[in-house]
Structure 1
Amino acid sequence: MNGFFDFYTILFLVLAVVIFLRLRSVLGRRTGSERPPFDPYSPSKPNGAASDKVIALPQRDSADAPPASEPEPDFSEIAKADSDLGKALAALRAADRSFDPKRFIEGAKLAYEMIVTAFAEGDRKTLKNLLSREVYDGFVAAIADRESRGETVTSNFVAIDKAEITEAALRGRTAQITVRFVSQLITATRDKDGTVIQGDPNAVAEVTDIWTFARDVGSRDPNWKLVATESAE
């Protein structure tokens, strides 16, 4: 029994030594010169010296140095610099440094779709946020007249083919921009019995509108409002 025990004891010892030697060859030995584990909460070294484990970021020459100026927006796709429209857009930019004609057009397209849809649905709340007082009163009167006759309107956008700035002006603190929209719409007006009395619910129609938007450039409110509408047809 003792011989049996001694044989397996010796075998386990041999295996332990072999495993230790292999681990040592793979992991190496501590020499006393290893860097300590990184501690993100350890205090900085004295005199502002950088930690061995941290790469110091370059410092600005002055904390009050102004940020790099934004590049001037490119008006060339909208109007020539020496044209009346180009000069007017430049004047708007000078009065309002946040003004960018390209971004304005994208916002105008979104507003156009929202206003046309809200008018068809009789959504007065949406219209009130997008229209000047005078235009809002006119739209609401038309909606009320339509509702009094029991008429309903459906209007679906297919696409806005074109939205281009045709005029711009700065009158005092008020900036005005006129945009010509060419859109593809499916629209129909039905009477109280559901009969189509105007438009066609199955046909796409091209619609051209000329809308003027305005904004007080001295106001913190960045939104433009529709102040005039005109149909080109």
Structure 2
Amino acid sequence: MNEGFQYIDIIFFAMIAAFLVLRLRSVLGRRTGEEQRRPDPFAQPESAQDNVIDLSGRKAVAGRPGDGTLAGGLTQIQLTDPSFSPEGFLIGAKAAFEMILMAYAKGDKAVLKPLLAGEVFQNFSRAIDEREQADETMETDLVGFKSVEILRAGMDGQDALVTVKFVTEQVNSVRDKSDTVVDGNPNQVEEVTDIWTFRRDTVSNDPNWDLIATQVPEE
């Protein structure tokens, strides 16, 4: 007898559950495909999607690998590393630029070392040592980026290489031990152009890029 009542209870609760589902669907509605999607914080901005090189074969790529063009160089990198995107790279390049610039001004070699290739780190380290030996301190304020653009890109063996032009506004000055300004102007914003080349070993599991060359364009 008790088993019969338990069976009825199961049916009763199942009917309640079905009723609640129908009520929820009537309140929340069904997706028609026309609703506005919730923003994905990790999605690429729509303004940048036109510049993405589609490697799926559904449309032609922007450039041919090895044709000597920037688009061809970017395509060459993407064929080797499908996770690479120019937009995502530039976001990381801006962050690296600021981190390296500020660490150099502070003389922080521990921050610089993993971000710089061996020879570049030695040059930065030598300049920091010379500044410390002269008992001088450097003050740098990165006011902002005016423009950031990729100049060259391509593969060198298994290494992806990307050269970026940074145009920034900075305030730079160097003070001696008596706090006298011996170089630069702490009250003046100047426009600075730097051209940096980054490298990443596409075979390595390390996703980070390191700085392998810096130059200031000739005026």
TM-score range, shorter chain: 0.7 to 0.9
Structure-2 residue corresponding to 1:13: none
Cα deviation for residue 75 of structure 1 reads: 3.2
Are 2:104 and 1:119 equivalent residues in the alignment? yes
Are 2:203 and 1:208 equivalent residues in the alignment? no
Structure-2 residue corresponding to 1:99: 84
Are 2:119 and 1:138 equivalent residues in the alignment? no
Structure-2 residue corresponding to 1:8: none
Query: Which whole-Å CA distance do the structure 1 matches of 2:175 and 2:143 have between them?
Result: 20
Cα deviation for residue 89 of structure 1 reads: 0.2
Query: Which whole-Å CA distance do the structure 1 matches of 2:97 and 2:126 have between them?
Result: 19
Query: Which whole-Å CA distance do the structure 2 matches of 1:206 and 1:120 have between them?
Result: 17
Q: List structure 1 segments (4+ residues) > 3 angstroms apart after TM superposition.
A: 32-38, 51-55, 73-77
Matched residue pairs, number?
Answer: 173
- Runs (5+) with no aligned partner, structure 1: 1-31, 39-50, 56-69
Query: Which whole-Å CA distance do the structure 2 matches of 1:87 and 1:118 have between them?
Result: 34
Cα deviation for residue 193 of structure 1 reads: 1.3
Query: Which whole-Å CA distance do the structure 2 matches of 1:148 and 1:97 have between them?
Result: 47
Query: Which whole-Å CA distance do the structure 1 matches of 2:9 and 2:199 have between them?
Result: 72
Query: Which whole-Å CA distance do the structure 1 matches of 2:107 and 2:10 have between them?
Result: 76
Structure-2 residue corresponding to 1:75: 51
Are 2:204 and 1:225 equivalent residues in the alignment? no
Query: Which whole-Å CA distance do the structure 2 matches of 1:196 and 1:54 have between them?
Result: 75
For residues 166-212 of structure 1, give each alpha carbon's deviation from its aligned partner in whole angstroms, at most 9, with x where no partner exists.
Answer: 00120110010000000000110111111111111111010000000
Q: Structure 1 pair 152/94, CA: closer, same or farther in 2 (3 Å)? A: same
Residue identity in the other structure for 1:119: Y
Structure-1 residue corresponding to 2:3: none
Residue identity in the other structure for 2:177: K
Query: Which whole-Å CA distance do the structure 2 matches of 1:149 and 1:33 have between them?
Result: 88
User: Does the CA contact (< 8 Å) of 1:75 and 1:86 recur in 2?
Assistant: no
Cα deviation for residue 106 of structure 1 reads: 0.7
TM-score by length of 2: 0.72
Cα deviation for residue 97 of structure 1 reads: 0.8
For residues 121-163 of structure 1, give each alpha carbon's deviation from its aligned partner in whole angstroms, at most 9, with x where no partner exists.
Answer: 0010110111011100110000000000000000011101111
Q: After superposition, where does 1:32-181 map in structure 2 within 5 Å?
A: 36-37=12-13, 52=18, 74-75=50-51, 81-82=62-63, 84-181=69-166
Structure whose alpha-carbon radius of gyration is higher: 1
Structure-2 residue corresponding to 1:29: none
TM-score by length of 1: 0.68
Query: Which whole-Å CA distance do the structure 2 matches of 1:224 and 1:54 have between them?
Result: 54
- Runs (5+) with no aligned partner, structure 2: 1-7, 22-42, 54-60
User: Does the CA contact (< 8 Å) of 2:52 and 2:85 recur in 1?
Assistant: no
User: Does the CA contact (< 8 Å) of 1:212 and 1:229 recur in 2?
Assistant: yes
- Residue identity over aligned pairs, in percent, reads 41
